[in-house]
Amino acid sequence: MTALNRHRPAIAFVLVTAALDVMAMGLVIPVLPILIEEFAGSASTAGWWNGVMVALWALMQFVFSPIIGSLSDRFGRRPVILISIFGLAVDWVLMALAPNLWWLAVGRIIGGITSSSFTAVYAYLADIIPPEGRAKAYGLVGAAFSAGFIAGPALGGVLGEWGPRTPFWVAAALSALAFLYGLFVLPESLPKERRMAFAWSRANPLGAFRLLRRHAELTGLAWVYFMLYFAHHVFSAVFVLYAAHRYGFGPLETGLLLAFAGLLEMLVQIFLVGRVSARLGDRRTMVVGLVLGAFGILGMGLAPTGWLFIAALVPNALWSLALPTIQSLMTRLVSEREQGQLQGANNSVASVAGVISPLFFGAVYGVSVVAMPGLVFVIAAVVLLGGAAIGHFAGRGVAPASRS
């Protein structure tokens, strides 16, 4: 019996929780800017405040991801995951009742902290899945994320017809449902003898980064992780603006395209990650995913027509081969006691990319939109190819997972 089958109830909880949490976040995407503008009083002020909200969320992820990961190494994964999910439900209620922008800002801070529980979720999987099965397991979690991302914004747009606060209440209900589900079905995955004492030297973001500097291979893979997230944030930064400017796509078309992109990534993570990794190994699968994803993003930047732009989303989705295999490689470079700390450090790396990348691509797009609007996608493709080159050499020192 494989580890995936043996721990089916716990893995099912992880997948359902991931989908519900991402769906809850996606629910508010169509209405949060509307609520911000309602409080701000003007579109220009609302744009500034929206940027502040995004930055606050990412900053909290950067600061608290290693703390959550280290707490899960000390007290176990189950209490940390459940408390975080409950806190997220409370956060959605707080935002649904928000009377002003400052209340919304507090809500984004709480949301950034409680969403850091994904570090404990990934550590949970590392506890119960042997190294040879982790790429497939992480791929399934990625697929759950994609499913939530597909359903959340679409449902949020429908619910927003009943008012901009309605999606927040539904998001709170989804998070509460996930909490109750986990309360009854989620066992602890980390035995007491494998737990590690909590230390601020490891739990702060800089301390977590020290873990990533411990091995040359781990440092290299962390850079690949950063470059992957940095490149892919071109979507959140300029996708809607670029599609509208160059191809004349409206909100409906761009929304459907984002859902289509999420669907493609989900299919890759469900059907390809495990099979390709079993055949090529994690390192080669990571490199192949980065290279093919780079060609897809390059095609999006150079496509002369809307249909070719849409077609480029297909190879772009193959970047999804890289993320779970990077994580699988990294888990084999630290001890079982440090899995939570590792996932916290990884989440902080992703958060740094999430703060820097949209600002960078937004600025580049602003100065190049007239002469070369696709330049941002070309740069993103170059970044992914650079990540593939680093990953090719960094992953060589990782012992291959045994496959029975």
pLDDT tens-digit readout, 264-274: 988 898 889 88
CATH number for the domain harbouring residue 292: 1.20.1250.20
End-to-end CA, the chain: 11
Q: Which is more confidently placed, 94 or 396?
A: 94
Residues 151 and 230 in one domain: no
* Mean pLDDT of the 165-184 span: 85
Q: Where are the alpha helices (DSSP H) in 186-233?
A: 200-203, 205-212, 216-232
Among candidate residues 336, 310, 169, the one with its CA nearest the CA of residue 247 = 310
Residues 6+ apart with CB under 8 A from 23: 147, 148, 149, 151, 152, 155, 171, 174
55-114 pLDDT, tens digit each: 677 788 778 877 887 888 888 888 988 888 898 889 889 888 988 888 888 888 888 888
Using the predicted structure, report yes or no on whether residue 314 has a pLDDT greater than 60.
Answer: yes
316-373 pLDDT, tens digit each: 999 999 988 998 899 888 887 777 778 777 877 887 887 788 778 877 887 887 889 8
Residues 156 and 216 in one domain: no
Which pLDDT value is given to residue 51? Answer: 59
Residues 145 and 27 in one domain: yes
Residues 333 and 390 in one domain: yes
Using the predicted structure, report yes or no on whether residue 391 has a pLDDT greater than 80.
Answer: yes
Number of structural domains (the chain) is 2
Does residue 358 form part of some domain? yes
Q: Which is more confidently placed, 198 or 218?
A: 218
291 band by pLDDT with thresholds 50, 70 and 90: very high
Residues 145 and 284 in one domain: no
Does residue 386 form part of some domain? yes
Percentage helix, strand, coil, to 5, in the chain? 85, 0, 15
3 band by pLDDT with thresholds 50, 70 and 90: low
Residues 179 and 246 in one domain: no
* Mean pLDDT of the 250-255 span: 68
Does residue 259 form part of some domain? yes
* Mean pLDDT of the 146-156 span: 74
Does residue 317 form part of some domain? yes
Using the predicted structure, report yes or no on whether residue 401 has a pLDDT greater than 60.
Answer: no
Which pLDDT value is given to residue 5? Answer: 62
Among 152, 187, 222, the domain-final residue is: 187
Q: Where are the alpha helices (DSSP H) in 213-321?
A: 216-232, 234-247, 251-271, 273-280, 282-302, 306-311, 313-316
Residues 231 and 379 in one domain: yes
Summary mean pLDDT of the chain:
81
Does residue 203 form part of some domain? no
User: Residue 150 phi/psi, 5° resolution?
Assistant: -70, -50
Residues 103 and 171 in one domain: yes
Using the predicted structure, report yes or no on whether residue 258 has a pLDDT greater than 80.
Answer: no
Residues 176 and 217 in one domain: no
Residues 222 and 358 in one domain: yes
Residue with tokens 């597909």: 150
404 band by pLDDT with thresholds 50, 70 and 90: very low
Using the predicted structure, report yes or no on whether residue 241 has a pLDDT greater than 50.
Answer: yes
Using the predicted structure, report yes or no on whether residue 313 has a pLDDT greater than 90.
Answer: yes
Concatenate the DSSP letters of all residues of 144-161 into one string: HHHHHHHHHHHHHHHHGG
Highest averaged pLDDT of the listed ranges 22-36, 44-58, 207-221 = 207-221
Does residue 175 form part of some domain? yes
Which pLDDT value is given to residue 343? Answer: 73
Using the predicted structure, report yes or no on whether residue 1 has a pLDDT greater than 60.
Answer: no
* Mean pLDDT of the 183-188 span: 82
Using the predicted structure, report yes or no on whether residue 38 has a pLDDT greater than 60.
Answer: yes
Q: Which is more confidently placed, 401 or 233?
A: 233
Residues 138 and 228 in one domain: no
Using the predicted structure, report yes or no on whether residue 6 has a pLDDT greater than 80.
Answer: no
> In 10 A of CB 104, how many CB atoms?
21
Which pLDDT value is given to residue 152? Answer: 75
Using the predicted structure, report yes or no on whether residue 380 has a pLDDT greater than 90.
Answer: yes
255 band by pLDDT with thresholds 50, 70 and 90: low
Which pLDDT value is given to residue 315? Answer: 96
Using the predicted structure, report yes or no on whether residue 122 has a pLDDT greater than 90.
Answer: no
Residues 279 and 314 in one domain: yes
Does residue 193 form part of some domain? no
Does residue 3 form part of some domain? no
Tokens of 289: 């995913």
Structural domain harbouring 84: 8-187
| CA angle in degrees (0–180, nearest 5) for 270-274-279 | 145
Which pLDDT value is given to residue 26? Answer: 67
* Mean pLDDT of the 118-135 span: 78
Q: Whole-prediction pTM value?
A: 0.69
